[in-house]
Amino acid sequence: MEGTAAVNLAPGDNSTAALDVERVRRDFPILQETVYDRPLVYFDNAASVQKPRQVIEAMSEAYETYYANVHRGVHHMSQRSTEVFEAGREKVARFLNAPSPDQIVLTRGTTESINLVAASYGRAFLEEGDEVILSVMEHHSNIVPWQLLRDELGIVIKVAPIDDQANFLLDDFAELLSPRTKLVAITHISNALGTVVPIEAVVRLAHEAGAVVLVDGAQAVAHMEIDVQALDVDFYAFSSHKLYGPTGIGGLYGKAELLERMPPYQGGGEMIDVVTFEKTTYKEPPHRFEAGTPAIVEGIGLGAAIDYVSALGRETIAAHESGLTEYAGERLSSVEGLKLHSRAKERASIMAFEMAGAHPHDIGTIVDRAGVAIRAGHHCAQPVMERFGVSATARASFGLYNTREEIDVLVDALGRVKEIFG
C-alpha cells in the first residue's frame, strides 16, 4: 500500500508488531545511494536522521500546489497553508500527549526551544542566587543558554553527575536540590552516551523542591513514547530533524499556566494583538512566542513525519532499535581494543566507543571507506568528554531503518582499523 507504514503483525498476536525493515527501507530514497561503491550504512542518526519519501513528497506537494504565507491571507492558498501548517502543530500535541495544541510553540528546534525558556521564563522568574541544575551529560545547547543567563542575572549552575558506567545518579541529583533550586534543565537521552535519564523521578523530586523542569527531548522523541502529562514535565523541547522530519523546525511543549505567564522574547509580526507607538499588546501562547513568518513547509513536513512514525508505532520502533543495540553491544565488545562508553543500564540506540591507538577521526575515516557513516568528535558535549578523560569518541547511532547486517559491516570495518592501528 502506497503511503502506509510497514508494520507486520505477528500471526495470532495482535499486540506484538514487528517492524518490516526491508519495506521501511524502501521509504528512504537516500538508502539506495552508494558511498565509495559500497551501500550506504547510515549510523549518524543521533546527529540527524534521513527522511522518508512521505515527508519529502508532503513538502514538494505544499510548494507545488498550495504554498502561501500563513495566518495572514483571506485568499484560498493562504488558508490552505495555514490549515495544513496548524494541523502539524495539532499532530505534535497528540504525539506528545499535550492537552492542547496551544501548548506547542513551534521553534527552529531544540536549541531555540531551550533558549526561549532561558530568555523568557528565565529572565522573568529567576534572580541572583537562584539555582539551575543541569547534568554533566548535557548537549552544549542545554548548557550555554543557562551560562548566558548566569552572566546576566547571577544565577548559580549546579551539575548532576553520572557514574563510570554512564548511569545517571538519582541520589546525587536529589542532594543538589535546595530551596534555591528554581529550574532543572536535563536531557531525556544523552546524545554522547545514550543514557536514558529517569525523568519521572527527576520531575517528582524537582517538584517537591519547588523547581520547574525542562527536558531536552532531542534524542528521545524518535525512539520512545513521550507523554508530557504522565511525565508531568513543565517544558519539553525537541527537533523535527531527529524525528524523520525536515531541519529548521521543532517545538517546545509548556504547561499552560507557565506559558501564559511568560513574556515574549522576540518581537515582530504574528506575535502581537494591537500595536501603537505608545503600547503593544501580545497574543496568547503559542503565537506570543512565534514572531515572524514561521518555517511553513517545514511545519507541514514535521506533520508528515509524525504521521509516518505514528503509523509504525513508537513501541515497535523502540523494540527494533533495542534489538539492534543489544546486537551491536555484543558485536562491538568482540572487537579487540575497543572500549565502549555507552554502558548505562538504561540506554538508547547510541554506541560511543574508543579504540586503542586510533583517534576517533581515524576510525570515522576508515569506516567511511566501507560506506559506514558514524560520527567522531566531542558530540557538542565537551563536559561529559572531560568526565571520561577523553577529547573525542566514535559514535554509531541507530534509527528505525538500520539492520544487524549493517552492524556486521561496521564491525568488519573496525577490524581494518585494528589492523592499521592495533
- The binding site for ligand 7TS (CB under 6 A) comprises 46-47, 109-111, 139, 141-142, 187, 191, 216, 218-219, 239, 241, 379-380
Q: Grid coordinates standing for 118? A: 532561558
Residue 380 annotated among the catalytic residues of the structure: yes
Q: State the catalytic residue, choosing from 198, 380, 388, 416.
A: 380
| Separation between Cα atoms, residue 386 and residue 23, nearest integer Å | 42
Burial of 159 (0-12, 13-18, 19+ CB in 10 A): middle
CB-based contact 155:143 (threshold 8 Å): no
CB-based contact 327:150 (threshold 8 Å): no
Query: Residue 19 or 299: which CB sits closer to ligand 7TS?
Result: 299
Burial of 43 (0-12, 13-18, 19+ CB in 10 A): buried
Nearest to 217 by CA among 206, 225, 229: 225
CB-based contact 340:321 (threshold 8 Å): no
Q: State phi, psi for 169 to the nearest 5 degrees.
A: -100, 95
Query: Residue 81 or 120: which CB sits closer to ligand 7TS?
Result: 120
Using CB positions, name the residue nearest to ligand 7TS: 191
- From the CB of residue 154, how many other CB atoms can be counted at a distance below 10 Å? 12
Query: Residue 167 or 187: which CB sits closer to ligand 7TS?
Result: 187
Nearest to 328 by CA among 378, 377, 374, 396: 396
**Least Cβ distance, residue 139 to ligand 7TS (angstroms):** 3
**Least Cβ distance, residue 22 to ligand 7TS (angstroms):** 28
Query: Residue 155 or 215: which CB sits closer to ligand 7TS?
Result: 215
Torsion sign, CA atoms 194, 199, 205, 211: positive
**Least Cβ distance, residue 36 to ligand 7TS (angstroms):** 23
**Least Cβ distance, residue 251 to ligand 7TS (angstroms):** 11
**Least Cβ distance, residue 111 to ligand 7TS (angstroms):** 3
Query: Residue 5 or 51: which CB sits closer to ligand 7TS?
Result: 51
Catalytically active residues, by annotation: 380
